[in-house]
Amino acid sequence: MPDPSRPLKIGTRGSVLALAQAHETRDRLMAAHDLPSDAFEIVVIKTTGDRILDRPLKEIGGKGLFTREIEEALAEGAIDIAVHSMKDMPTLQPETLVIDCFLPREDVRDAFVSFQVASIGDLPQGAVVGSSSLRRRAQLAHRRPDLQLVEFRGNVQTRLKKLQDGVALATFLAMAGLSRLAMRDVARGAIEPDEMLPAVAQGAIGVERRQADERVAALLAPIHHMQTGQRIVAERAFLAALDGSCQTPIAGLAELSGDCLRIRGEILRPDGSEVFAGEREGAVTDGAAMGDDLARELLRRAGPGFLSA
């Protein structure tokens, strides 16, 4: 167990939201093991995605933009665990690292944010909407092809400032992030998954460790939320079969009802001109297989080259 003389080092990005997630992880570990805060040290690591803010994500790489440097620090022993937003995580991990601890999942829905209009349906013809998410932009373009979609990167505060400055009339954020920042009132409303299916693993926090580190494995075990883990396994199997990245509009959501799991997924062209969607339902223990099978069905229906077009 960690102690003040050798604190457990928790690696994280430096954004306000990332730090809130790291503190939540630390607080859960403190409660689970009756440890003081000084038994832990939060280590901020700047990632490529944090450094390059003036270019679209698709131009500078895939999901690893927000995780690569943190995983390198973990593999090298500079930190003991890494706290991640699971929707930022590539499906392929370094062989020496593992994520087998998930905190209870937050609200999975997207938030509609605007100072002037109340919902997507209220946006006037030709309105400018900002988002850095290819998935959200494709879904919106499919529903409202009249809208002008512009790149909109930065943290919550930066995006709100852009709205105030008139760069766009509206944007989207994750309800989970707003909840963790105690800023749910920023949202005009949450968008139900039936209207806009969220990103794979949206709202989930994963804690990564070195595979061989049994001490840390034992430390994390009591804070692992099994139901969240079951849902994320299914969703990430769906994503893995699609070879999903930040350059691909993909949405997916698994939900539990007792021992039954339902997974929904969709793939879109970036311009929203085509969408292929489907779902599977079955035993929780078959979650990964269902996610994989659903992805392969959508790929068959979409035809060769759909995701690379």
Instruction: Please identify, among 167, 191, 215, the residue that sits at the C-terminal boundary of a domain.
Output: 191
Domain membership flag for residue 196: no
Residues 265 and 134 in one domain: no
Extended beta strands in the chain, E state: 8-12, 40-44, 81-85, 97-102, 110-113, 128-130, 148-150, 170-174, 189-191, 205-210, 250-257, 260-268, 275-283
Residues 66 and 143 in one domain: no
Domain membership flag for residue 199: no
pLDDT greater at residue 111 or residue 309: 111
| Number of compact structural domains in the chain | 3
Q: What is the DSSP string of 105-148?
A: P----EEEE-SS-SSGGGSPTT-EEE-S-HHHHHHHHHH-TTSE
What pLDDT, on the 0 to 100 scale, is given for residue 4?
Answer: 55
CA distances from 238 to 87, 116, 150, 243, 295 (A): 13, 37, 28, 9, 5
**Three-state secondary-structure class, residue 75:** helix
- State the average pLDDT over residues 73-91: 95
- State the average pLDDT over residues 135-139: 95
Q: With left for phi above 0 and alpha for psi between -120 and 50, is residue 246 left, alpha or beta?
A: alpha
| Tokens describing residue 34 | 């009756």
**Could you give the CA distance from residue 67 to residue 45 in angstroms, rounded to a whole number?**
9
- State the average pLDDT over residues 293-306: 93
Residues 11 and 90 in one domain: yes
For the chain, what percent of residues have pLDDT higher than 90?
81
How do strand 81-85 and strand 8-12 relate by DSSP bridges? parallel
Angle at 63 between CA 107 and CA 246, to 5 degrees: 80
Q: Is residue 136 pLDDT above 80, yes or no?
A: yes
What pLDDT, on the 0 to 100 scale, is given for residue 309?
Answer: 62
**Could you give the CA distance from residue 288 to residue 60 in angstroms, rounded to a whole number?**
30
What pLDDT, on the 0 to 100 scale, is given for residue 273?
Answer: 94
Residues 5 and 83 in one domain: yes
What pLDDT, on the 0 to 100 scale, is given for residue 146?
Answer: 96
Instruction: Kindly indicate the confidence band of residue 307, based on its pLDDT and cuts at 50, 70 and 90.
Output: confident
Residues 308 and 267 in one domain: yes
Residues 180 and 208 in one domain: no
Known catalytic residue: 243?
A: no
- State the average pLDDT over residues 9-17: 94
Residues 56 and 149 in one domain: no
Answering whether pTM is above 0.85, one says yes
Q: Is residue 59 pLDDT above 60, yes or no?
A: no
Residues 151 and 172 in one domain: yes
Range of the domain at 148: 110-191
Domain membership flag for residue 156: yes
Residues 4 and 136 in one domain: no
Residues 155 and 183 in one domain: yes
Residues 243 and 170 in one domain: no
User: Residue 179's Cα: distance from chain center in Å?
Assistant: 14
**Three-state secondary-structure class, residue 96:** coil
Which DSSP symbol is given to 218?
H
> Taking a C-beta distance cutoff of 8 angstroms, is the pair 201, 75 a contact?
no
Q: What is the CATH number of the domain that holds 82?
A: 3.40.190.10
Tell me which of 80, 88, 107, 292 is the catalytic residue: 88
Instruction: Kindly indicate the confidence band of residue 61, based on its pLDDT and cuts at 50, 70 and 90.
Output: low
Instruction: Kindly indicate the confidence band of residue 18, based on its pLDDT and cuts at 50, 70 and 90.
Output: very high
Q: What is the CATH number of the domain that holds 242?
A: 3.30.160.40
**Could you give the CA distance from residue 248 to residue 251 in angstroms, rounded to a whole number?**
10
Domain membership flag for residue 262: yes
Extended beta strands in 20-109, E state: 40-44, 81-85, 97-102
**Could you give the CA distance from residue 110 to residue 136 in angstroms, rounded to a whole number?**
9
pLDDT greater at residue 203 or residue 53: 203
